[in-house]
Structure 1
Amino acid sequence: MEQHNSGGKFWLRSADEAWNVLEEAYLTEASTYEWKYVMDGIEQTPLIHFCGLLHLPHRVEEGEAYGQLTTPFFSGQVSFDINGMKLDSYIYPDARKMTQEQYHLMLSDILQEAPLCFESSNIETGITADQHSLELSLAQWSYIEVSFSSLRNIIRQLIDHPTRVLQAHEQQMRREQVKTVDIKTLAWIERNSRSTAETIPETVKSSVCEDSYNTYENSLLKRRLLELRHLLKLYGKSGRGEYMIRAEAYADKVGHWLRDSFFRQVTPYQGVIHISQVFRKHPVYRQCYQWFDRLYKHGNERIGMSYNYPLRETFALYEIWCYMQLVKIFREKGLLKDSGGLFRTTREGLFLHFAEHKESIVELKNGMRISYQRVFQNDSSPFYTFTQRMIPDIVIEAGDRLYIFDPKYRIVSNLGTALGEMHKYKDGILLCRNDERAVQNVFILTPVQSDELRYFKAEFHDRYNMGAIALTPGEDLSSLRDWVDKLMAHVEAK
């Protein structure tokens, strides 16, 4: 069936750019676009549905209806419904977003740091509650959730174009059907001829070459898929609610792949695993091998599955990662006193605790404290706010002074605006005993690398007690370490 098009009636543009018909528009996630619909003389106001929401025009003039829409914070296939006609489009990823590799790196960093911090807690229990939970990890489950769609695409390509080899096997056939005569065929004829004068027998046992999908690579992938289905069933049994439903849905999808006629012709591999040339050079098989390789690299990060924060939202994960990197710096200085605030215990075991608007506090040996999403309001103590309730992402408390960090992983060109919003913390959080301003420094943490911008320079930090610090997954923490060293020197000098 031919794909519908807008017929030149529906147009989009962004930021005063030129208008483009829907079929030629380049949409990116979390962006705002102006749309216009060209009406025929008899047409009424158009009904525009995008991502399930109705977008009514803001104005109608000279036979054209104008409106505005915002793309969701995800990429992929989307649909417009214009007066009952469905039109497909595509939303491309925001180039400012972190890569999927950085997402998994943040997960790994957080969960590798957690057991090290646990040693400084006063909790008398283990990281895991029973032997069953040792086989599962939060990092592994999050990896499955984030990357299962990419595995689906890889398997679809693999099933459509699998590798195959010619395999020879012996078969009885009529002599006129023999296509090739090799040494084995001649030896069989010699053994089975009744006399030297006899001609070739009516039926001959000869070698036949046929295409086979039962290659090493296909056999290993079938083994990996069987293991993945079993793993997903374990997650389904250990999870609750929506997590259990999703794990079972993933397991059913893997079972559907295994029932494909291609995989039914393949025997699961049982031997020692090695990386073949196909896994090294074939683009699809290489991606598939890498997907499973990353899956099982999460095995060393043993932490409970239950969690209350939205790991699938990268901005929330970046906030937690920044907090844990700050804790890591203080831990490496030997200053952790009690990190029990990072965890919560249940009957199932011990879990990282980063629930939204619930303070997670790490106490240091020098009396300082590091809090995640600490709450300040008009009746809190020893610090309060005289305007609105405030919940900074990261707060360091050193006596009667506070140092605040606000992770912003998508800030690029509007650092000034973001820093302007930080003034509410500098001016609005006061000491209860004397109403003095309590916040000494405020900083934005961002993966943006912009050494040329003044907000990142030490002179700006020292002069205004605020600015931006670059903090990127996979890179060193030198900028944040330098700031912590300055803070410790200042605290010790007092």
Structure 2
Amino acid sequence: MTGLFITREGQPGRWRVWPDAETPEPGAVEETGTYLFELESCADAGAADLLIDDSRLEALRSSTSDGARWRWQPGFHAGTVKAELRVPGAPPRRFEIITDPDRRKLTRDDFDTMVREILEDTFSLFSLSSFRTSVARGSGSRPPAIARLEFLRSRIAELTEVVELITRQPRRRLMAEELAVPYHRASRATGPEILRSFRTGKIGRETATPSRLPPSLQGRLPEQIRVRQRRSTLDLPEHRQMAACLRSWSGWLSAAAGLLDRKAPGTDTGLRETAIAWSARCRRLSTRVSVLARAAPFAEAGEAPAQLALSSLFRNDPVYRRFYRLWQDMNLGIAAVFGDFLNLPLARTYELYELWCFLRLVRAGVETFGPESVETGNLFTTDAAGGMTLAVGSVMVSVGGGWLLCFQKKYEEFWEETDGRGSYSRIMVPDVVAVAPVTPDGTPGRLIVLDAKYRIDGSLNDALNSIHAYRDALVQESDAGKITGFVSAAYLMAPWHGDIASERAYRDVKMPGRLFHPAYRGTFRFGAVALRPGMTVTEISEALQTIIADAATAPMPAYDG
């Protein structure tokens, strides 16, 4: 039987990934390891190709004529990868390989949460800007960003589950209707129904004697009697709205596939392959949603706008309430929001985390200092079609209280900078920089450097080296030629889930938990802050205030220039 297996290079043991995939032990796939995929018992194995996340793997020589081998170096992985096995003469076989069940759920949930909160923060901050326009919801003329498509794909998977639950036990209502039936079948007709039936249709006359009709009818009776009856129906206003939304989403995905097809003929091979792959996925997703729109609860429903009204059914029924929340998510996903940092797949969650941290901190600054002095206009650009682009390359945002938040601000050598502030070693680009207000004597405010690291467990030394470098190498030169450091504090930002153990002395806490200890941060103005996807704006605001308080009294390092 044909099978695909994975094993770590140079180590015994393997597990099947296709068909009938086996679940590996947590931690079986490490980001720094090298792994081999082995295809067995396949007649055309020599011409087979294996793609992981749309990238061809390096093929190796196999020891058997009916086998094939590929080498894979995971790097950052999200606990799951999309695989495609191509064998000549057979359709492509697409399947998901779960490399770490726990990490898969955590990373998938984090990715979806970050995309949702990035889009929510974008709309919230956009509403505070000087722009007076709405953001388009259609497909427009630009292909949607990859992160948005990843987000929509996970939403559609949940949408399928919700529609199946609704189909099993749909809500119904009793609908009154009138039926015209022959008089001899209207044995249960009421007096008012018989009287109303005299208004339309032919009137018959009884010829038999003695008459069996009541004297008041005078021997006359309508040939067709209109009787009222109630029947159960699925034609609810909510079902009409849901069906319209499903049809709208299916059309949007189909249009997005067309836009990706038009983008595919570019010169960049990697971008072209990605566009082709996502075009095919969008078409498959469109078909899935179109099938959902034809499910039983929606087949009987009439026409309605693709807009849900928050009725009592959506408020009180748990399953219908899930559909309403998915509708909100889908609206975020199809909004015409663009930007390079949104053009990231699930396998690059760590890069998306950088943008998420910045926007969450900007939103927290609004919460902390109030919206009056916030200036977010340079964070966005708009186009005539209603699209909005996040201009997050080296951007500065005023968040109130005199504080500025900078995303990926570039520091060149300090003697090259006009304000005399820069690096004494090499060009540095920290993820986020918080700039304090200007001092009363006119001196520029000091800096708090924040470096986003989605995972620090496996690369703790590299993470610490980066914030050490930022804190020590960023200096300023005064008019008198004196060189001093201007970084008050340097912190890592990471989605830490461990126990901070603040009741213990920081010396007794092991790394990396020690970095998050409040006393450690307050003593050295160095360490880490926990920023997890799903934290409320209030919690992020508290973290921002803690960062500012920790760094308020840090001594300035001096250098002999």
Q: TM-score range by the shorter chain?
A: 0.5 to 0.7
Q: Tell me what 2:35 maps to.
A: 34
Q: Tell me what 2:2 maps to.
A: 6
Q: Go from structure 1 to structure 2 and tell me whether the alpha carbon gap of 1:327 and 1:150 turns closer, same or farther (over 3 Å shift).
A: closer
Q: CA deviation at 1:186?
A: 11
Q: Partners of 1:165 and 1:419 in 2: how far apart?
A: 63
Q: Partners of 2:132 and 2:253 in 1: how far apart?
A: 19
Percent identity, please: 15
Aligned residue identity for 1:54: R
Q: CA deviation at 1:406?
A: 1.0
Q: Tell me what 1:418 maps to.
A: 463
Q: Partners of 2:37 and 2:380 in 1: how far apart?
A: 52
Instruction: Tell me the matched-pair count.
Output: 457
Aligned residue identity for 1:213: L
Q: Go from structure 1 to structure 2 and tell me whether the alpha carbon gap of 1:296 and 1:371 turns closer, same or farther (over 3 Å shift).
A: closer
Q: Tell me what 2:506 maps to.
A: none
Q: Tell me what 1:68 maps to.
A: 72
- Contact persistence 1:358–1:373 (CA under 8 A): yes
Deviations 1:135-156 (A, max 9, x none): 7699xx9998533763563686
- Contact persistence 2:114–2:352 (CA under 8 A): no
Q: Partners of 1:259 and 1:335 in 2: how far apart?
A: 42
Q: Tell me what 2:339 maps to.
A: 308
Q: Go from structure 1 to structure 2 and tell me whether the alpha carbon gap of 1:222 and 1:306 turns closer, same or farther (over 3 Å shift).
A: closer
- Contact persistence 2:193–2:226 (CA under 8 A): no
Q: CA deviation at 1:446?
A: 1.9
**Are residues 1:24 and 2:21 paired?**
yes
Q: Tell me what 2:548 maps to.
A: 484
Q: Tell me what 1:474 maps to.
A: 535
Deviations 1:416-450 (A, max 9, x none): 54223333323444445556555443211122233
Identify which of 83, 92, 106 aligns with 1:95: 106
- Contact persistence 1:384–1:431 (CA under 8 A): yes
Q: CA deviation at 1:222?
A: 4.0
The RMSD of aligned alpha carbons is 5.7
Q: Tell me what 1:275 maps to.
A: 311
Q: Partners of 2:131 and 2:178 in 1: how far apart?
A: 58
- Contact persistence 1:340–1:362 (CA under 8 A): yes
Secondary structure of 2:427's match? coil
Deviations 1:39-75 (A, max 9, x none): 6799986744124433235575699856325397696
Aligned residue identity for 2:428: M
Q: Partners of 1:230 and 1:333 in 2: how far apart?
A: 43
Q: Go from structure 1 to structure 2 and tell me whether the alpha carbon gap of 1:467 and 1:128 turns closer, same or farther (over 3 Å shift).
A: same
Q: CA deviation at 1:411?
A: 4.1
Aligned residue identity for 1:53: S
Q: Partners of 2:336 and 2:232 in 1: how far apart?
A: 45
**Are residues 1:391 and 2:396 paired?**
no
Q: Go from structure 1 to structure 2 and tell me whether the alpha carbon gap of 1:201 and 1:449 turns closer, same or farther (over 3 Å shift).
A: same
Aligned residue identity for 2:16: V
- Contact persistence 1:374–1:392 (CA under 8 A): yes
**Are residues 1:215 and 2:226 paired?**
no
Secondary structure of 1:310's match? helix
Give runs of aligned pairs for residues 321-400 of structure 1, distance below 5 A: 321-327=356-362, 332-333=368-369, 339=375, 342-343=378-379, 348=384, 354-355=390-391, 357-360=393-396, 362=398, 369-378=404-413, 380-381=416-417, 382-385=420-423, 387-397=425-435, 399=444
Q: CA deviation at 1:407?
A: 1.9
Q: Partners of 1:229 and 1:36 in 2: how far apart?
A: 36
Q: Tell me what 1:457 maps to.
A: 517
Secondary structure of 2:434's match? strand
Q: Go from structure 1 to structure 2 and tell me whether the alpha carbon gap of 1:234 and 1:37 turns closer, same or farther (over 3 Å shift).
A: closer
Q: Go from structure 1 to structure 2 and tell me whether the alpha carbon gap of 1:255 and 1:185 turns closer, same or farther (over 3 Å shift).
A: farther
Q: Partners of 1:110 and 1:278 in 2: how far apart?
A: 26
Aligned residue identity for 1:308: G
Q: Go from structure 1 to structure 2 and tell me whether the alpha carbon gap of 1:328 and 1:254 turns closer, same or farther (over 3 Å shift).
A: same
Q: Tell me what 1:445 maps to.
A: 493
Q: Partners of 1:225 and 1:100 in 2: how far apart?
A: 20
Aligned residue identity for 2:535: G
Aligned residue identity for 2:325: Q
Q: CA deviation at 1:389?
A: 2.9
- Unmatched runs of 5 consecutive residues or more in structure 2: 99-103, 199-203, 214-220, 257-261, 264-277, 437-443, 502-512, 557-561
Q: Go from structure 1 to structure 2 and tell me whether the alpha carbon gap of 1:18 and 1:436 turns closer, same or farther (over 3 Å shift).
A: farther
Q: Go from structure 1 to structure 2 and tell me whether the alpha carbon gap of 1:370 and 1:53 turns closer, same or farther (over 3 Å shift).
A: closer
Q: Tell me what 1:123 maps to.
A: none
Q: CA deviation at 1:394?
A: 1.1
Q: Partners of 1:335 and 1:223 in 2: how far apart?
A: 37
Aligned residue identity for 1:446: A
Identify which of 79, 86, 93 aligns with 2:84: 79
- Unmatched runs of 5 consecutive residues or more in structure 1: 119-125, 236-240, 299-303
Secondary structure of 2:550's match? helix
Q: CA deviation at 1:320?
A: 3.5
Q: Go from structure 1 to structure 2 and tell me whether the alpha carbon gap of 1:88 and 1:307 turns closer, same or farther (over 3 Å shift).
A: closer
Q: CA deviation at 1:363?
A: 8.7
Q: Tell me what 1:404 maps to.
A: 449
Identify which of 140, 144, 160 aligns with 1:153: 160
- Contact persistence 1:144–1:295 (CA under 8 A): no
Q: CA deviation at 1:287?
A: 2.5
Q: CA deviation at 1:461?
A: 2.3
Q: CA deviation at 1:374?
A: 0.8
Give runs of aligned pairs for residues 238-249 of structure 1, distance below 5 A: none
